[in-house]
Amino acid sequence: MLERCVIYVCLNEFRKKPLNTKTNTLIKPIRFVSLHPSEFYETLKTRVNAHFKAKHLSRYANSTMVIKTMLLLSGYIGSFAILLITTPMIVNALLLWAFMGFCLAGIGMSIMHDANHGAYSKNKNVNYWLAHTLNLLGGSVFNWKLQHNYLHHTFTNIANWDEDIQNKLALRLNPDGKAKPFHRFQYLYAFALYGIATLYWVIAKDFFQFLRYTEKGINKNSITENRTIFLKMSLAKVVYFVAMLVLPPLLFHLAFWPWLGGFLLMHFVAGIILTIVFQLAHTITETTHPVPNENGTIENAWAIHQMHTTANFSRGNQWLSWYVGGLNFQVEHHLFPTICHVHYPALAPIVKQTAEEFGIPYLENKTLALAISSHIMALKRFGLPNINEAIN
């Protein structure tokens, strides 16, 4: 039942049928229809519910999550304050900017991500305000929810629907379409491009997304509502750039160009961390990229589709799990996005055992190095022409 509700809600975000961005033709709404009905998801939900009941646990944040929230926010804000007040030597300043990028990525993966899924707290106001820690990155919560919560979580790894794996001009992240000659070398330059992801996000991506989602009907708000949203989004970005780049040099008499360089370094560090972590769950050799049939149907149940298109990595690394906000437990996250990530390590054995009982794959790479290697191999593979038949 929950599976049907998720798909129904997501599809109802489309007032108009989405357009293929390459051909400008209509795309049929996606349906998930299992040819072989399975009790996998219902059984799994029953076991997960029993886990929380037996342990007398809340599905939301615990004290560990609260402490992490304070540490990451303090690290980011504290480093910024030190840069303003002490004007350190250039090497120390760059280290502080890099640390801000490290904290910023952690805030995005741990705090903002859970809050936007409604998983941080049962209090909607707490989720609302913590979701807007995305503003520290210069991003728009409105667009992020449409791209991530709706498109990515429902249509995972489906080309033209899941924008997280959508092909870009210089990057081919799924087997859809034709590879360009330069894609052969994307495994060499991809990581440099990942570093500019958040900077592009704050400068242009949100505006392009907003217009595209409105045109396609993914954004179902009225014209008046959209004017307000667009104005707030634009104003937030102006405030962000004024606060980060204009006021500090003016009020604290700082040299502008070194300050700008540090700002760009912060975004590069945050961008490369965020992009790599998200890619390791879906753009690897182990995951699949299902293609709907002529009727717009994915011939699989939604939950089982998630098991084929999502992978974990480095589950045993507690420090990594702490920092990346449980995004190395993407299988558990995609099946239970409204549960706070601090619970995923305990849920993983339940999910894996249930998957094995039903003969369903549980994809994972044992270490971070293996996951990165798998991602590089996927980039190489997608960079070659005529691979569609081999990967789908």
- Domain boundaries, given as residue ranges, for the chain: 2-391
Query: Cβ–Cβ contacts within 10 Å for residue 69, how many?
Result: 20
Residue 106's nearest CA partner among 61, 136, 85 is 136
Q: What is the pLDDT of residues 71-110, one digit of tens each?
A: 999 999 999 999 999 989 999 999 999 999 999 999 999 9
Question: How far apart are the C-alpha atoms of 14 and 219, rounded to whole Å?
Answer: 7
Return mean pLDDT, the chain.
Answer: 91
- What percentage of the chain carries pLDDT values higher than 70? 91
Find how far residue 179's CA is from the centre of its chain: 24
Residue type, 3: E
Query: Cβ–Cβ contacts within 10 Å for residue 150, how many?
Result: 20
Q: What is the pLDDT along the chain (392 residues), one digit of tens a residue?
A: 433 433 333 433 333 344 444 444 345 678 999 888 889 999 999 999 999 999 999 999 999 999 999 999 999 999 999 999 998 999 999 999 999 999 999 999 999 999 999 999 999 999 999 999 999 888 999 999 999 999 999 999 999 899 999 998 899 999 988 899 999 999 999 999 999 999 999 999 999 999 999 998 899 999 999 999 999 999 999 999 999 999 999 999 999 999 999 999 999 999 999 999 999 999 999 999 999 988 889 989 999 999 999 999 999 999 999 999 999 999 999 999 999 999 999 999 999 999 999 999 999 999 999 999 999 999 999 999 865 544 44
Residue 327's nearest CA partner among 384, 372, 39, 340 is 340
Question: How far apart are the C-alpha atoms of 107 and 203, rounded to whole Å?
Answer: 20
Question: How far apart are the C-alpha atoms of 141 and 123, rounded to whole Å?
Answer: 18
**φ and ψ at residue 297, rounded to 5 degrees:** -115, 135
Question: How far apart are the C-alpha atoms of 199 and 99, rounded to whole Å?
Answer: 17
Q: What is the pLDDT of residue 386?
A: 67
Q: What is the pLDDT of residue 15?
A: 35
Q: What is the pLDDT of residue 387?
A: 53
pTM to 2 decimal places: 0.89
Tokens for 73?
A: 């926010």
Computed over its alpha carbons, how large is the radius of gyration of the chain?
Answer: 21
Q: What is the pLDDT of residue 4?
A: 40
Report angle CA 273, 313, 115 to the nearest 5 degrees.
Answer: 60
Dihedral, CA of residue 348, residue 309, residue 200 and residue 274, to nearest 10? 20
The strand pairing partners of 312, in sequence order, are 364
Residue 379's nearest CA partner among 192, 159, 172 is 172
Q: What residues have CB less than 8 Å from 326, skipping those under 6 apart?
A: 110, 332, 333, 341, 342, 344, 345
Question: How far apart are the C-alpha atoms of 363 and 305, rounded to whole Å?
Answer: 12
Residue type, 60: Y
